[in-house]
């Protein structure tokens, strides 16, 4: 797989593409389960806690992306919905558990295989940027903690322009910030809707990062199952 196109700037998603959200989240939630003694407060296991939180968190992020809830509502309510959904009385939910997750999780350092190797290789040939729907304060901590911050020129978060991927305005804003055209740019991300469709609508070529080898319902410009495959055509 070799491209004849001339790209100058590469735009990466962060969570689930470079920073391993699932692994870092799981590690954090297991820590919170033990630290806050949730086994004594509710009749559920660490694995059940992790699965329920992941389910609730994804649904609430979907609502946030659609503008139906605020950042504060997402952060305040996801643990309430998770723990009451597991049968815990709301009055028994430990004070500070939500803030503890927000404080601890971004400091975790797990990234996908070949992340640093590939970014180091690409940095020699292209200007690299981040476009993320994550919250600015959290995403900067993730980048620094995982030693990813030195690779990227521009860090564009949804808070910068008050809209989220797949809204094409965030991609247009990113192009303006980087001083580059859509034709010279390539978006790399794991979400078919947020990253791939959003970039398509902005006229930007895309790489669908698909480690689980799901059958895509869209036809991206490129598809990779491992980040190391980017070196085959970039």
pTM for the full predicted model: 0.93
- H-run or E-run covering 120: helix 115-123
Domain ranges of the chain: 9-20+111-232, 22-107
Q: What is the pLDDT of residues 170-220, one digit of tens each?
A: 999 999 999 999 999 999 999 999 999 999 999 999 999 999 999 888 999
User: Three-class SS of residue 186?
Assistant: strand
CA separation for the pair 108, 30 (Å, rounded): 13
Homologous superfamily of domain range 22-107: Putative phosphatase; domain 2 (1.10.150.240)
Is residue 138 within 8 A of residue 112, CB to CB? The reply is no
CA separation for the pair 192, 187 (Å, rounded): 11
- H-run or E-run covering 128: strand 127-132
Q: What is the pLDDT of residues 46-100, one digit of tens each?
A: 999 999 999 999 999 889 878 898 888 998 899 999 999 999 999 999 999 999 9
CATH assignment of 9-20+111-232, given 3.30.465.10, 3.40.50.1100, 3.40.50.1000, 1.20.1050.10?
3.40.50.1000
Q: What is the pLDDT of residues 127-140, one digit of tens each?
A: 999 999 988 889 99
Is residue 171 within 8 A of residue 187, CB to CB? The reply is yes
């Amino acid at each position: 797989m070799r491209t004849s196109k001339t790209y100058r700037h590469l735009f990466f998603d962060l969570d689930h593409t470079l920073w391993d959200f699932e692994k870092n989240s799981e590690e954090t939630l297991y820590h919170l389960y033990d630290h806050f003694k949730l086994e004594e407060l509710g009749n559920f296991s660490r694995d059940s806690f992790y699965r329920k939180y992941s389910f609730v968190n994804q649904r609430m992020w979907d609502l946030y992306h659609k503008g139906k809830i605020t950042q504060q509502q997402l952060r305040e309510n996801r643990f309430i919905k998770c723990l009451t959904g597991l049968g815990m009385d709301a009055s028994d939910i430990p004070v500070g558990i939500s803030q503890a997750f927000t404080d601890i999780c971004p400091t975790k350092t797990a990234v996908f295989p070949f992340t640093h190797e590939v970014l180091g290789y690409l940095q020699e040939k292209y200007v690299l940027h981040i476009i993320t729907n994550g919250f600015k304060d959290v995403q900067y901590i993730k980048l620094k903690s995982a030693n990813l911050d030195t690779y990227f020129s521009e860090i564009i978060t949804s808070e910068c322009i008050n809209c989220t991927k797949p809204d094409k305005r965030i991609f247009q804003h990113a192009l303006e910030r980087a001083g580059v055209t859509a034709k010279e740019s390539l978006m790399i991300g794991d979400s078919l809707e947020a990253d791939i469709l959003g970039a398509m609508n902005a006229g930007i070529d895309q790489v669908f990062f698909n480690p689980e080898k799901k059958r895509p319902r869209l036809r991206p410009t490129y598809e990779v199952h491992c980040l190391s495959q980017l070196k085959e055509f970039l």
